[in-house]
Amino acid sequence: MSDRETILGKIRRSLAVDTNDVGRRAIVIARLEGTPRGIVPKRGQLPAEQRVSLFSKMAEKVSGSVGRVAKPEDVPRAVAEFLRENNLPAAIRTGGDPLLAGMPWDDTQVEVSHGPSDGGDPVGLSHAVAGVAETGTLVLTSGPDNPTTLNFLPETHIVVVAAEDIAGDYETVWDDLQKRHGKGHLPRTVNLVTGPSRSADIEQTLLLGAHGPRRLHIVVVG
């Protein structure tokens, strides 16, 4: 007997159930299809503008920095300014994201290169599909538009998120993602990112910049 059959058999013996119990199957199918929500904290259930404020406050609480611009055209200038203020090189690595690609980068001194990171890029730029106000969390999905390596290898990560994509809670984000990718389907990687990388493994002292970015800057658009 394979390990699979043995394990499933042992589980059924322990639970004293048999394989043909249609009632149990129906319960499981109902949950997988119905995907009931549990308790969604009131904290994030706010009107749009307050949701953005909560998102920013929570992101800053975990040592992210947050800027805000009115429209996509303003992003390159805001990014250039951030790089200057932090003495960072005016060069960013980004994927093929259409929102980012449509921005007037030529109006700035910032040099833009495209593709995944091999670890040599000081600054990565991504577009998050969503934000979650509850915890100041960014939601990034893999693919040619926003390669996952950009989220982790560069020392500085700049993430653009549209104000209208900031949800109150994770559940809303899952609904939206499933609408986009099909029910029961996700992109290869979905990263929930809450602040820059950190470790407290040495004497419980919290230090930023363990293996991932030391700095996380968020630009909210709109």
Partner 1 sequence: MEITSNTFKKNAREALADPALQRAMSHVRSGFIDKRARAAAALPEFDEIRDTGRDIKNHTLAHLDLYLEAYEDRVRSAGGEVHYAETAESALETVLGICRKANAKTVTKGKSMIAEEIGLNEYLEEHGIEPVETDLGEYIIQLRHEGPSHIIAPAVHLNKDQVEESFRAAHTDLPADRDLSEPTSLLNEARGILRERFLAADVGITGANFLVAETGTSVIVTNEGNGDLTQILPRVHIVVASIEKIVPTLNDVSQIMRLLARSATGQDLSVYTTFSTGPRRPDDPDGPDEYHVVILDNGRSEMLGSEFKEALRCIRCGACMNHCPVYQAVGGHAYGWVYPGPIGAVLDPQLIGIEKAGNLPNASTFCGRCEEVCPMRIPLPKMMRHWREKEFERHLSPATARYGIGLWAFFARRPRLYQWATRWAMRVLANGAIGKGRYTSLPLAGGWTKYRDFPSPEGDGRTFQEQWAARRKSA
Interface of this chain with partner 1, residues 156 to 215, rule: CB under 8 A:
169-171, 174, 184-205, 207, 209-213
Q: How far is the CB of 75 from partner 1 (least distance, A)?
A: 22
Based on CB atoms, which residue is closest to partner 1, 150 or 160? 150
Interface of this chain with partner 1, residues 124 to 163, rule: CB under 8 A:
134-137, 142-144, 147-149, 151-153
Structure tokens at 180: 């986009």
Residue 48 burial (CB count, 10 A): 12
Q: How far is the CB of 25 from partner 1 (least distance, A)?
A: 6
Return the H-helix or E-strand segment holding 33.
Answer: helix 22-34
Contact 144, 95 (CB under 8 A): yes
Based on CB atoms, which residue is closest to partner 1, 69 or 133? 133
- In angstroms, the CA 163 to CA 87 distance is 27
Contact 94, 64 (CB under 8 A): no
Q: How far is the CB of 48 from partner 1 (least distance, A)?
A: 21
Candidate residues 20, 38, 98, 179; the one interacting with partner 1 per rule CB under 8 A: 38
Structure tokens at 72: 């996509």
The vertex-186 CA angle with 19 and 103, nearest 5°, equals 175
How many residues touch partner 1 under the rule CB under 8 A: the total is 81
For residue 140, the cross-strand partners are: 191
Establish if 57 lies at the interface with partner 1 (CB under 8 A): no
Interface of this chain with partner 1, residues 98 to 117, rule: CB under 8 A:
115-116
